[in-house]
Structure 1
Amino acid sequence: MKFWPKWAGRIFSVSDKDLPAAIGVQDNWADEAVSVEGSMNLSAFWAGVRITAETVGSLSFEMMERDRSGRKVRVPDHDLQSLFSASPNADQTAVEFWEGRMLGLCTSGNGFAEKVESANGKRLIALNSMPADTQGKRNANGDIEYTFYDRGKQERLPEEKVFHIRGFGDGIMGLSPVEYARQTLSLTIATEKFASQSYSRGLRSKGFFVMPAGKTLNKEQRDDARKTLVEANSGKNAPWAGVLEGGVEFKSVSLSMRDAEMIMNRRFNVEEVCRWIGVPPIIIGHAAEGQTMWGTGVSAVMQAWYTLRLRTYLKRIEQAISKRIFSPEDRARFSVKINYEDLLRGDTVARSAFYTALLNAGVMTINEVRALEGLPPVAGGDVPRMQMQNVPISGAPGQIGHNGGPAIGANE
């Protein structure tokens, strides 16, 4: 019954990726339907996509300008600053908007938004959400067009009207993780279905009632046996025990959950799903055998995830903004920085060490650190400072004493 609300009014082509799911044909070994919605019903897939989208969506966006010396400085009063970091459109906050683009990247491999410009066409005033299953193709003129469905009606937008973040791949569209992971996802769905059905039957196995050797039932006896033996012991309300008489035996033809290594399969499925979406299992609360949920090892895993996975997403978004939102003239002058350092806000020890190192090296001033922490500036806090306690012995004659006392030889 889910077909009509989702597909009503939609026209399918032979190349449409949603066509097999719409007509019930499954292109996978486990013969289970695989879709974005079905994948999100898996706890591992949901948790991995959610935590990735929420993490990226919670980071702050800052407009940067290159000055005459080549340094990049913040431009808090730029028109696009509030669009990226506060309110991209009339319906969503910045966190909600970027979570949606990340949801598309993690599932379909693409994130889309419609660019809305001012009446004179000189200023971007909104980024409206577009479906993650939007399709981009070149038309007869060689221009890229984007097609999507809005309330059952097909809409087309030219390339200049669409903000497109492409995922991994080499083409107009990013490759869909759900589409390429369909074998793993179908196996995971089949495993979960087997477990659910087993529990719904009270863990009763499938099998046959075998009559004594040489005894053949007529139609009436067979119908009576089906009613008293099969139907009476099937379903959720079946009794926990029954009586077999007259030499009737039950022969099981299904594996037990232990023989099927259900627990091991389910654990492995979680790790396989995490591998496809690029999230360490420990991030979603799944510890490998012998691994704890805390400690320096977990911190190293988290840092690897930040560096090897999240940083890639952030770079894609930054470059998509530069290429598809900024004009060529603005691109040479402005850029967007997604504050990766925001990830340290939840770790006070790492944040303190980070600030201390930059302060001691003269990279940041006291007031710059206080601004990042939401504190007011202090007098004299705009001057960079550097530690100078380590100086060459030959370069400081007469300056070295006994534990801070007079210089050596001063009292002789």
Structure 2
Amino acid sequence: MTQTKQKPIGRIKASVLQWLGVPISLTNGEFWDAWLSGSNWSGQRVTVDSALQLSTAMACVRLIAETISTLPLGFFEKLPDGTRKTAVSHPLYEILHSQPNADMSAVTFWEVVLASMLLWGAAYIEIRRIGTRIVALDFLLPEKMQRPRRNRAGEIEFWYTNPDGTRRQILESDMMHLPAFSVDGISGISPIAYGANVFGSAMATDRASAETFKDAMRSPGIVTMDSVLKPDQREDIRKHVDKVSKTGGVMVLEKGAGFHQLTFNPADAQLLSSRQFNVEEICRWFRVPPFMVGHAEKSTTWGTGIEQQMIAFLTFVLRPWCVRIEQGVRKSLLNPVERNRYFSEFAMEGLLRADSAARASFYSAMTQNGIFTRDDCRILENRPPMGGNAAVLTVQSNMMPIDLLGQKTDSAAAKDALNAWLNQSPKGNE
């Protein structure tokens, strides 16, 4: 393992460091992200921190990260008959499902992983082992990572800057790399970097809007007089207007004075409309429907019902992120022999936890079609199984193969035979 020493720069502005003559390494990702982040049309410096100060960006990232991180991530074993069972005895089950490392719960861990993918375009997780057994997954700060690249031997190199400023190389076998949308298959694209013009424009608009409100609220109006006032007279009028505006009442002015209230001009009012448009622009970068982040200005085109909108959100937004993580687990955490036997999967049904009516409808459909038993449903509801007929697969009695329509079933034929025998028996033998 090769280490080189460099001076840590923390969060000091890049321009100050350059002015002070502090040596900057070409591999210092934190410095160059800050230095090159201002390349957008609005002239605003766009970084991850500044972008998250936009309420829409924060809402989009939190919506996706919090929703997926709270879904149960199961770890299963494929059985020879094609079924599966939860692989509770496998070391990865506890790591993926409950606690990946000593510092984070599973929810916190997957939340920061998804936030990293959404903001930086990739997540980096170091795999900790004792011998060949995986014992922990440590999240690495993406701003401390050098952009991965393939060396002459064909291996992908990962270089990480430690908190003390030392750099170290992490082997590809010890790294779980989860890129977001990518054009080269190695490095993911950061929405913050590629969407700097959109985020910068939103920042500039928010700043201009704040200045507009600030200037407009600085003075509620103008008092006009037909004579020249002395300084103490002007101050008396200011105090009187201020007192009336705060406590209420009737304003009394003398010597032909008049009061004219200040209002927004049309250009200032149009500025507020541009802020609403920025909400839709930012939502496009995260593929989140605006109505899900509180923007209900326009009707959605994702269907007419809440159910249809949720199905679309699960299909087009959440599912791609879930599949990236599931396949990342298979690629980085399982050896070639285990890949054909074990797999991980997010339980999307976990979203029904807060909807008892939808959950009941789901269970009803699964039991009536012979997919779940009653005990399967009880286990999902954290209730003890009853056994007996509750563990038997059942279907509705009126369901039969189409080629048997019009024919009597075995039970119906037996019932008809019993009735015929009873009708033919002598009355004395009844």
Aligned to 1:363, the other structure's residue is in SS state coil
Whole-Å separation in 2 of the counterparts to 1:180 and 1:259? 29
State yes or no: 1:45 paired with 2:53: no
Q: Which has the higher helix share?
A: 2
Separation in structure 2 between the aligned mates of residue 25 and residue 39 of structure 1, nearest angstrom: 11
Distance in 1 (CA, whole Å) between partners of 2:338 and 2:97 is 19
Query: Unaligned regions of 5+ residues in structure 1, if any?
Result: 206-236, 241-254, 401-405
Counterpart among 315, 318, 327 of residue 319 in structure 1: 327
Distance 1:10 1:281 in 2: 44
Distance in structure 2 (CA, Å) of the matches to 1:98 and 1:291: 29
Match of 1:166 in 2: 179
Q: CA deviation at 1:256?
A: 4.2
Residues in 1 aligned to 2:383 and 2:411: alpha-carbon distance in whole angstroms: 42
- Distance between the aligned counterparts of 1:148 and 1:154, measured in 2? 6
1:100-115 alignment runs, 5 A limit:
100-115=112-127
Asked if the contact 1:181–1:276 (Cα under 8 Å) also holds between the matched residues in 2, the reply is yes
Matched, 1:283 2:283: no
Say whether 1:263 aligns with 2:272: yes
Aligned to 2:72: 60
- Cα pair 2:212 2:268 within 8 Å, conserved: no
Query: Equivalent residues in 2 for 1:78-93 (5 A)?
Result: 78-93=90-105
Say whether the 8 Å CA contact 1:10–1:154 is kept in structure 2: no
Q: Is the 8 A contact 2:37 2:47 kept in 1?
A: no
Q: What pairs with 1:369-380 in structure 2 (closer than 5 Å)?
A: 369-380=377-388
TM-score (norm 1): 0.78
| Contact 1:145 1:158 survives alignment (8 Å) | yes
What letter is aligned with 2:138? Answer: N
Aligned residue number for residue 328 of structure 1 = 336
By how many angstroms is 1:399 displaced? 4.9
Match of 1:382 in 2: 391
How far is the alpha carbon of 1:70 from its aligned partner? 2.8
- Partner residue, 2:156: 144
Q: State the identity as a percent.
A: 31
The reply on whether 1:185 has 2:185 as its aligned counterpart is: no
- In 2, distance between residues paired with 1:35 and 1:68? 51
Aligned CA distance change for structure 1 residues 123 and 389 (closer, same or farther; 3 Å): same
Amino acid at match of 1:200: K
Task: Output the amino acid matched with 1:264.
Answer: S
Unaligned stretches of 5+ in structure 2?
Answer: 1-8, 220-241, 246-263, 414-418, 424-430
Task: Name the CA distance, whole Å, in 2 between partners of 1:158 and 1:397.
Answer: 66
- Tell me the secondary structure at the aligned position of residue 342 of structure 1: helix
> What amino acid is the match of 1:277?
F
Deviation at 1:89, TM superposition (A): 0.5
Q: Partner residue of 2:355?
A: 347
**Offset of 1:282 from its aligned partner?**
1.3
Question: Residues 374 and 50 (structure 1 numbering): CA distance in 2 closer, same or farther, change over 3 Å?
Answer: same
In structure 2, the CA distance between the partners of 1:196 and 1:54, relative to structure 1 (3 Å rule), is: same
1:197-235: per-residue Cα shift (whole Å, max 9, x none)?
222333579xxxxxxxxxxxxxxxxxxxxxxxxxxxxxx
Count of residue correspondences: 352
Report what 1:176 is aligned to: 190
1:154 aligns with 2:160: no
Query: Contact 2:122–2:180 at 8 Å: present in 1 too?
Result: yes
Q: How far apart are 1:158 and its partner, in Å?
A: 1.5
1:95 aligns with 2:107: yes
Change (3 A) 1:24 1:146: closer
Letter in 1 for 2:38: Q
**Deviation digits for residues 37-73 of structure 1 (CA, Å, limit 9, x no counterpart):** 1110000000110111011110111111111123222
Q: CA RMSD in A?
A: 3.1
Q: Which secondary structure state, in structure 2, belongs to the residue aligned with residue 201 of structure 1? A: helix
Bigger CA radius of gyration: 2
TM-superposition CA deviations, 1:235-270 (whole Å, max 9, x none)? xx9xx9xxxxxxxxxxxxxx9464561221111111
* TM-score, L = length of structure 2: 0.74
